[in-house]
Amino acid sequence: MMKVSIVIPVYNEVQNLKKGVLDTVLAYAKSRPSVIEVLIVDDGSTDDTVALIKKNYLGNYPKLRLYEKKHAGKAYGVIAGMKQAKGTIVFFTDMDLATPIEEADKLVQGIEDGYDVVIGSRNSNRQGAPIIRKAMALGFIVLRTLLVGLRGIHDTQCGFKAFKTTAARTMLKKLHAFAKESAVEGPSVGAGFDIELLFVAQKLGYKIKEVPVPWRHVETKRVNFITDSIEAITDMTRIKWNDIRGAYN
């Protein structure tokens, strides 16, 4: 049995915490002996996220760890979590549980079957998502295909991914667009991070498996059509440019 670290990047998640998402994750962790830790990475939430976790959870759940770092966005939260993880499998998910946490079993199984990277795939099934979100998702896929490629991977953006920890650490060393930890304003989900990570995984010849998972849209009101689109295009252009100049070889 391989040991699993669950990493959850969080930023201003009081609303979801009050819905009981962390209780759900911790109950799952308790029910799975393979899960050795739930590592919450908060990078400077400006609401009561940290206070709430400390008051209601930390200390009461042996598998729960809280890592507080300076604000640098989701991508670096995930990176920091991957570096800290003690398991032989590192799995990351979003705090809103848009994909039910039990689905992690399927991803973990994929790693145990010998894959290096196993990612959740929503296909075109984005239940309950507003039309603007669906349009953004489609535009993203078109741009990604044109700019970066990524053979055989359909959904790069699902926030539900598992890695063999040794593979993840090798991949992190190969990142370029997301290699440096830099400050960001407000929440930042860094859409390009998943793409660079998978791009590097393919370059390294890692075995990648995509597993269909259910996904239910949870609105967080962080989305801004204009700035998010500009950010995504910038990220993908950087990855493409890095590739052209041979940075990933």
Ligand X SMILES: Nc1nc2c(ncn2[C@@H]2O[C@H](COP(=O)(O)OP(=O)(O)O)[C@@H](O)[C@H]2O)c(=O)[nH]1
- Please report whether residue 96 would count as binding Mg ion according to CB under 5 A: yes
Binding marks (x or -) toward Mg ion, 53..72, rule CB under 5 A?
--------------------
Alpha helices in the chain (DSSP H): 14-18, 21-31, 49-56, 74-84, 104-112, 131-147, 165-174, 192-203, 225-244
Binding marks (x or -) toward ligand X, 122..161, rule CB under 6 A?
-------------------------------------x--
Sheet holding 4-10, edge to edge: 64-68, 35-42, 4-10, 89-93, 160-164, 117-121, 208-212
- Dig out the tokens for 220 from the structure: 């967080």
74 binds, among ligand X, Mg ion, none (CB under 5 to 8 A by kind): ligand X
Whether the CB-CB separation of 4 and 34 falls below 8 Å is answered with: yes
Q: How many CB atoms lie within 10 A of CB 221?
A: 7
11 binds, among Mg ion, ligand X, none (CB under 5 to 8 A by kind): ligand X
Q: Which stretch binds ligand X (CB under 6 A): 174-182, 185-193, 207-215, 231-239?
A: 185-193
- Please report whether residue 43 would count as binding Mg ion according to CB under 5 A: no
CA 94 to CA 99: how far, in whole Å?
8
Closest separation in Å from C-beta 77 to ligand X: 3
Q: Which stretch binds ligand X (CB under 6 A): 88-96, 164-172, 204-212, 238-246?
A: 88-96
Residue nearest to ligand X (CB): 77
Whether the CB-CB separation of 186 and 231 falls below 8 Å is answered with: no
Closest separation in Å from C-beta 116 to ligand X: 23
